[in-house]
Amino acid sequence: MVLKLYRNQKLCQFLAVHLLLSLKNIIVSVKAKKHLGQHFLTDESIAKNIADALTGSDYNHVLEIGPGMGVLTKYLLQRKPKITAIELDRASVAYLNETFPLEHIKLDTSKNHFEVIEGDFLKKDIQEMFNKEQVAIIGNFPYNISTQIVFKAIEYREFVPEFAGMFQKEVAMRIAEKEGSKVYGILSVLTQAFFDVEYLFTVPPNVFNPPPKVDSGVIRFVRKENYTLPVDEKLFFRVVKTAFNQRRKMLRSSLKSFNLSDSLKEDPIFTKRPEQLSVESFISLTQKIADHGI
């Protein structure tokens, strides 16, 4: 009898929560703003697949960039780690603060597991935000700043064991491609030097509101066990960037500013173009320049 009553109570609570949630969706939703790169994902199973792209268990924090109306957030909440979401759009923050208490009841998760911060991810110090603890980064990213987000994850690599998210397909490919590809460039080399990158799946425009003009791609990168390079890392970044700034030229001409000695220039690597060099070759190129150039 008691059990039955309890079940009925739970059922009523469940129905009330669902009713309120669907009403909320009708009453308030955030109007997409172009300047914030807002394209809201409307397909629940894709949202779940993106949230599931995170594999790790060796961290207690997940940072979601640009949660919007929380389509990914609700699936992230079902995972154990604490979720912090950072969102620039005040209307989205208000929406999340209003609707997520209901999600917590629905999912039986604790409020302490979730925090929304209003702000610009690019201006945040990840190290300070998470007290130097490890944090995985995820998001359906605003496409206008997606490469800056990756560069920031690389910069804070010591604290970022894993990263997953949705980009414009072309950017996702650029990050994941290997040498020899036309889109292989600075972003590919710098990411792959520290992370193992995997292109997971493509997402068509029609599952967004409003639909973007191009396909999107979901990728994951997991930090390498040994992510310290055997060369001067600052010099490595400079070599990669300088080489790709003139990607059609041979390295002996694009890297002139490194004052390469004549004997060094005779090394066959300098007759190559940057897109022919693997990450390992860039590392050995940096070593050669450190030993004989500059």
Total site size for ligand SAH, rule CB under 6 A: 23
Minimum Å gap between C-beta 23 and ligand SAH is 20
Query: Rounded to a whole number, what is the largest CA-CA distance in the chain?
Result: 91
Of 259, 265, 251, 264, which is closest to residue 294 (Cα–Cα)? 259
Minimum Å gap between C-beta 185 and ligand SAH is 23
Question: Site for ligand SAH (CB under 6 A): which residue of 75, 95, 121, 194?
Answer: 121
Question: Site for ligand SAH (CB under 6 A): which residue of 77, 88, 172, 193?
Answer: 88
What gap in Å lies between CA 252 and CA 230, rounded to an integer? 23
Minimum Å gap between C-beta 97 and ligand SAH is 14
Contact 174, 183 (CB under 8 A): yes
Per CB under 6 A, the segment of 75-83, 117-125, 250-258, 267-275 that binds ligand SAH is: 117-125
DSSP secondary structure string for all residues of 227-285: ---SS-HHHHHHHHHHHHHTTTS-HHHHTGGG---HHHHTSGGGGS-GGG--HHHHHHH
Question: Site for ligand SAH (CB under 6 A): which residue of 46, 61, 67, 169?
Answer: 67
Beta strand 61-65 pairing with 82-87: parallel
- Does residue 38 belong to the site contacting ligand SAH (CB under 6 A)? yes
- Does residue 92 belong to the site contacting ligand SAH (CB under 6 A)? yes
Of 294, 175, 177, which is closest to residue 234 (Cα–Cα)? 294
The binding site for ligand SAH (CB under 6 A) comprises: 36-41, 65-68, 71-72, 86-89, 92, 120-122, 140, 142, 145
